[in-house]
Each structure stands twice: as C-alpha cells, then as structure tokens.
Chains A and B, each alone.
Chain A
Amino acid sequence: MHIPDGIIPVQAALGGYVAAGGAAWLTLVKIRRKYKNPREAIPRASLLTAVFFAASLVHIPLPPTSVHLVLSGLVGVILGWFAFPAILVGLFFQAVMFQHGGLTTLGVNACLIGLPALLSGALFQLRRYFGRNRAVPNALLAFGGGFLAVAVGAFSAALLLTYTIPAHLDAAAERAAIIALSLAHLPVALLEGVFTALVVLFLLRVKPELLELEA
C-alpha cells in the first residue's frame, strides 16, 4: 500500500499532495475547534503515533508467511481526527528511516492510508448508538474499521497504480491487475480487522478512556 518514489507520474504525486494538504488542513481545523489549546494534545498524539509506528514493525503470522500490519484502522479508532496528521508523520518517518514509501508519494500515501483511517474512526464512533461498554458491538465496529481501512486503501492503491503507470495495458489486463492487487490484500485486511477488534476488546477491559479520546 506504500507507493514508492518514481512509480506514479508527477501529476498524480502533486495531486496527492494537494489532496493530503486539504485533508491535513481540514483535520487541523477540526482539532483546533475541539481543543482550546491544540498543542496540549500533541504529546499524547505523538506518543501514540510512535506506538503505531513501532507496532507496525511487528511480524504477524499469516501462514505460510508473516506480514507487517498497517494499523491505520486502529489509529483511526483511537486518534480520530488526529489520525490523519499521525499517519502523515508516520509515513514521513517510514520514508526517512526505511525508504518505505517515498517523498514525492508522501501525499498520495497519506491519502491512501489516512483517509480510510478517518473513515474507520467515524465508523467506530457509531458505538454510541449500541452501547459504549458492550463488547460485541465494540468488537464488530473495530473489526469493520480495521478491515475497511486496509481494504479501501488497497483498492484505491490498485486503481491508482493501474491507471497511472506509464504503460498501455488493455482494459482486461487493467481489470485483472486491480482485482489481483485487491484480492492479495484481502487476507491482510481480515487480519487487520481481527487484530483491531482484539486490541479494542483489551482496551475496553483495561483502559476504556483510551477509546474515549474522540468522544
């Protein structure tokens, strides 16, 4: 899901920056409205960003191999509006530290991962209609958030890559590529959903206020 430098044309990269800039502006406006002093939330959001960054390096077994989780759904569930700047910062560090992703594609990647994370956060907030402390609705909404974040991101990335790579694939090959890339991410999306639900159930028992940051 991390598109590296040089793969997509500059128009798409610049478009990604424009979209990510707009999304960052919108989330910062929302954050400023929510907090009287937005800077008071920065240490907490940054520390949680660092947790997600470190946790995304954990190998999760997916026999016969293992995968790294994206955790964008969990970021959205816990950080809410802060999820987008948190993912932007996390992607910046991944590009700097591991050359994972890229500098020109930072905007595109932030949109592919950050916007679905906001969607997951919004989905999880529906729990207020089903009972904040009930395990089953919390787990189902968390699963939906974790699954959607990866599934939507992977599908969008597949669309973007297939339609912007400078080559003339025929329509059938394009469709096949999109379906193949999306299906390849399906097990990871399911795994992310289950993982997000397990973490949310753990937090619900141990530290429920961590799930109330956006309430």
Chain B
Amino acid sequence: MFTLAEKTTARSSFLHSWEARHKLAGITALIFSFSFVRDLRLLPLILAASALVYYLTALPPAYLFARLRLPSVFLLVPAMVLPFGSGQTVLARVGPLALKLEGSLALLLIAAKFISILTLAVSLFATTPLAGLAGAMRSLGVPSLLVEMVLFTYRYIFQLAGDLKRTGTAATLRGFKGRSLLSLKTLAYMVGTLLVRSYDQSERVFQAMTLRGYGRAAVAVSATAPCRRDRLALAGALALAAFVILVQVLVL
C-alpha cells in the first residue's frame, strides 16, 4: 500500500549524493519559481529542466509515470471545464460544446506546470531518506516540534496501516463485506479500536522513551558537511529559479 521511496533512496546518482539541506533548498526554489510561470513560452524551459533533474536521479521513467498517475486525476476537472468554458475564440465545435483557444491554453499551462513540479518533487523525495529530509527541514528553520512529529509519525504509519489491514482481514473472515452504508458503523468501530489501541501504546512508548532520556534535550540531527559540488548545484538551481522569475516578470 505504501510506496515511500526508501528503496530508491539507497541508490547512487548525482541527486542521491547531493547534500540534503542544499537539495531541499535548491529544488524547493525551482518548484516555486516554476509555479510562478504564467507565460506559455517558458513551458519548454521548465519541462526540460525538470526532465534533466529527473535524469540526474538515475531512476527509470516508469517510476515517474507511476507516481504521476494518481495525482493526474485532478487534472480531469480543469480538462473538462477550461477548454469549453473559458475564452471567446472558438477552435472547433463538438456537438453543442465549443472548444475555445484561451481555455485550451490555460489548460496547457496548468498541465505543464503540474507535470514539471511533480517531477521535481518526486526527484527530491525519491533520492532523500526521511531522516535526511527531517534534518534539512530542521536546519532550514522548521520548528523542532513539527520535525519530531514527522519522524514519529513516519515511525508508526507502516505499523498502523498493517494493524488496520489485519483488523479488516479479521472482519472479512467473520463475514463483513463493507459494501453498503450499513457497514459504516463497523468501519467506525474499527477506526475507534485502532485509536484506543494506539493511545494505550503511545502511553507505553512515552514512558519507555522518558526512561531513555527523551524530553531533556532537543534531538540532535546529524548532517553531513556540504562539499563544493553541493554548493555549485545549489547555485545553479537558484540561478535557474531566479532566471525563470525575472524573465516572467521583466521580459514577458
């Protein structure tokens, strides 16, 4: 069910070896600059840049396509509304509907930005272990309480998903089908049971962690020292981000 890219983070590539803090800052800058794009002439540049970043992950294209499939469903809504509901210039008529130029271009802009930003996000998360990402977030100013919640939540997500699956299997073996609204009560009780069990477990976890010294000092997050290549890559990413924004604002 869960497919966080822990398997892919163990590989070797330029993006895998890019120091986490620099990588997070560089790719986040690119992502925000790409979402700033409003002119269609910048689309080839941002698509090419995101393709280059993904190429540097050394991951197969199939991995990216699999990750794009689910969120792409969201594009269906603008794809159904914009080409027919926005603009005046009619390109073609499909029955009672008129395909309009302005709406089609708006959809193209949204789709290209969506694909390029998602490609960058996949490249970031597929090449950075969560501990490295949390350390980078902490050193970039994210409050320690939030970072600790990220790490703890990640620790428990897989276990709880397994618990929920086992509860579901047990219910199925007892004849539960879960196909009608009447099954809502059973599903609510399953979630309630999981909450009760987890609450009891959290008390035990907290007591065990307190005995081991938790709560006395902030968690130290080890970070590897960045090298010249890390800084150069960050400078390149920031330069491209600044270029995209400046071209959008000053030239186009």
Q: Which residues of A contact B (CB under 8 A)?
A: 2-10, 13-14, 24, 28, 31, 37-40, 42-51, 53-55, 57-63, 78, 85-86, 88-90, 92-93, 95-100, 102-104, 165-169, 173, 177, 191, 194-195, 198-199, 202-203, 206-207, 210
- What count of chain B residues pass the 8 Å CB interface test? 85
Report whether B184 and A195 are in contact in the complex, using a CB–CB cutoff of 8 Å.
yes
Report whether B78 and A47 are in contact in the complex, using a CB–CB cutoff of 8 Å.
no
Give 8 pairs: A residue, B residue, CB < 8 Å, sorted on A: A6-B111, A46-B155, A61-B181, A85-B146, A97-B3, A99-B118, A103-B124, A199-B191
A61 to B207, CA, bound (A): 39
**Given A50-B153, A51-B198, A63:B114 Cβ within 8 A:** no
Instruction: Collect the chain B residues with CB atoms within 8 Å of residue A13's CB.
Output: 32, 35
In addition to A61-B183, A89-B150, A207-B196, 11 A-B residue pairs with Cβ atoms within 8 Å of each other are: A2-B74, A5-B117, A13-B32, A24-B143, A40-B206, A46-B149, A47-B156, A93-B157, A102-B117, A199-B189, A203-B195
Shortest Cβ distance from residue B117 to the other chain A in the assembled complex, whole angstroms: 4
Report whether A99 and B153 are in contact in the complex, using a CB–CB cutoff of 8 Å.
no
Residue of B whose beta carbon sits closest to that of A206:
B196
Report whether B187 and A58 are in contact in the complex, using a CB–CB cutoff of 8 Å.
yes
A61 to B178, CA, bound (A): 7
Shortest Cβ distance from residue A164 to the other chain B in the assembled complex, whole angstroms: 11
Q: Which residue among B153, B155, B193, B214 has the maximum number of chain A CB atoms within 10 Å of its CB? A: B153
Report whether B178 and A46 are in contact in the complex, using a CB–CB cutoff of 8 Å.
no
Residue of B whose beta carbon sits closest to that of A42:
B148
Name which of B11-19, B54-62, B65-73, B227-235 contacts chain A: B65-73
**Given A43-B152, A44-B203, A24:B121 Cβ within 8 A:** no
Whether a CB of chain A sits under 8 angstroms from the CB of B136 is no
Instruction: Collect the chain A residues with CB atoms within 8 Å of residue B122's CB.
Output: 99
Instruction: Collect the chain A residues with CB atoms within 8 Å of residue B155's CB.
Output: 46, 50
Whether a CB of chain A sits under 8 angstroms from the CB of B192 is yes
Instruction: Collect the chain A residues with CB atoms within 8 Å of residue B199's CB.
Output: 44, 47-48, 207, 210
Report whether A63 and B180 are in contact in the complex, using a CB–CB cutoff of 8 Å.
yes
Instruction: Collect the chain A residues with CB atoms within 8 Å of residue B138's CB.
Output: none
Q: Which residues in window 106-131 of B have CB below 8 A to A?
A: 106, 109-118, 121-122, 124-125
Residue of A whose beta carbon sits closest to that of B191:
A55
**Given A55-B194, A103-B31, A167:B118 Cβ within 8 A:** no
Instruction: Collect the chain B residues with CB atoms within 8 Å of residue A195's CB.
Output: 184, 187-188, 191
| Contact pick for B74, options A4, A55, A57, A104, CB 8 Å | A4
Instruction: Collect the chain A residues with CB atoms within 8 Å of residue B149's CB.
Output: 42, 45-46, 49, 85-86, 89
A195 to B156, CA, bound (A): 23
Instruction: Collect the chain A residues with CB atoms within 8 Å of residue B192's CB.
Output: 198-199, 202-203, 206
Instruction: Collect the chain B residues with CB atoms within 8 Å of residue A2's CB.
Output: 74
Instruction: Collect the chain B residues with CB atoms within 8 Å of residue A38's CB.
Output: 145
Shortest Cβ distance from residue B130 to the other chain A in the assembled complex, whole angstroms: 8
Instruction: Collect the chain A residues with CB atoms within 8 Å of residue B68's CB.
Output: 99
**Given A5-B118, A97-B3, A168-B102, A48:B178 Cβ within 8 A:** no
